[in-house]
Amino acid sequence: MYVSKNGRFYHAEIWVNGKQYRRSTGETSRRKAVEAARKIEEDLIEQAEAEAEAGTSLQLKDVGTRYMAYIGDFHAGANNTERLVALLLKFFNPNKLITDITQDDVLALRAWRRKQHTGPKLARRPISAATVNDTIEQLKKLFTYVKTSPHVRFEHEPKWSELWLDEPEITPRELSPEETARLLKALAATRPDYRAVFEFAWFSLKRKTEIFTLQWSHVKWDHGLIERPGKGDKGGSTSPTTSAPSSGRSTSAATTIAGCLRRRTTSSPSPPSAPWTR
């Protein structure tokens, strides 16, 4: 037991399985500090036993690092995944075992996020329910990742279905003919190079990230399809018609969409005529 220079609280040096830990007891009384150190030692021993059984570290910081290295870094939105993991580490003690996170812990996380705001200084607003749910969803993904080890047991796993906030339904509004004309005029005047991207979005009905991450290898000229792998590398398949698909992750490569793609490069392979015109 010792008090660091210019410090107020007693610190303890604790050895568990040959590994040294230095922890603050948070106490200024030596008697209370000894009691606190004993509790810290018990927690460290429990942690060591859990990690020995699992065969890997279950501390949240280590779980987050492994998740990013093996899964998160391969997401289309890897930066957002990394930001969400960092938020979890900011709220929870990074040394906390993921198996110790309870329902009340996640409720506290949810309340913490609901108090946060976004937007410019003079127009700050609370973050949306969807944004709060994204944070909880990321924690759930860490739980799912850890469950791949058959030796990990969750005795207090949160009831996820009870933690989601209701998200208001947003009804999309189509642009009027006048608004469409103004948008096209603005594109022609400021960023004519964006026109093909906007046209592709209009006709393919794909999300922004799907469009930005589209690769030429996804374009199947001979079949008249744009085919992207889905979760688990399982892609969809649609017939080359002139209407957008209602499901799956393949986009009908109709004549208009093919034209959008051809305008993006002068070196793209020439597609067979039949699949693009029927």
Residue 168 located in a structural domain: no
Residue 169 located in a structural domain: no
pTM of the model: 0.55
Q: How far apart, in whole angstroms, are the C-alpha atoms of residue 64 and residue 84? A: 10
Print the domain residue range for 22. 2-54
Residue 109 located in a structural domain: yes
pLDDT tens digits, 193-229: 888 788 778 777 777 777 877 787 877 777 777 776 6
Who's near 204: CB < 8 A, 6+ residues apart?
211, 226, 244, 251, 252, 257
pLDDT at res. 271: 45
Q: How many domains does the chain have?
A: 3
Residues 45 and 68 in one domain: no
pLDDT at res. 241: 34
Angle formed by the axes of helices 129-146 and 78-91, nearest 10°: 90
Q: Which of 30, 54, 78 delimits the end of a domain? A: 54
Most confident of 4-8, 39-43, 162-166, 172-176: 162-166
pLDDT at res. 15: 77
- Tell me the pLDDT band of 274, cut-offs 50, 70 and 90: very low
Residues 221 and 144 in one domain: no
Residues 64 and 44 in one domain: no
CB atoms within 10 A of CB 75: 13
Residue 126 located in a structural domain: yes
Residues 111 and 183 in one domain: no
Q: Across the chain, what does the average pLDDT equal?
A: 79
In the numeric block, which tokens belong to residue 203? 């006709």
- Tell me the pLDDT band of 18, cut-offs 50, 70 and 90: low
CB atoms within 10 A of CB 222: 11
Residues 152 and 191 in one domain: no
pLDDT at res. 240: 36
Residues 191 and 119 in one domain: no
**Residues in a beta bridge with 2:** 11
pLDDT at res. 91: 96
Residues 186 and 258 in one domain: yes
pLDDT at res. 53: 59
pLDDT at res. 112: 96
Which amino acid type is present at position 102? T
* Long-range CB pairs of 4-11, under 8 A, 24+ apart, other chains included: 9/33, 10/36, 10/37
pLDDT tens digits, 116-150: 998 888 888 999 999 999 999 999 999 999 988 77
Q: Which of 162, 197, 214 delimits the end of a domain? A: 162
Residue 35 located in a structural domain: yes
Residues 97 and 146 in one domain: yes
The three-class DSSP label of residue 161 is helix
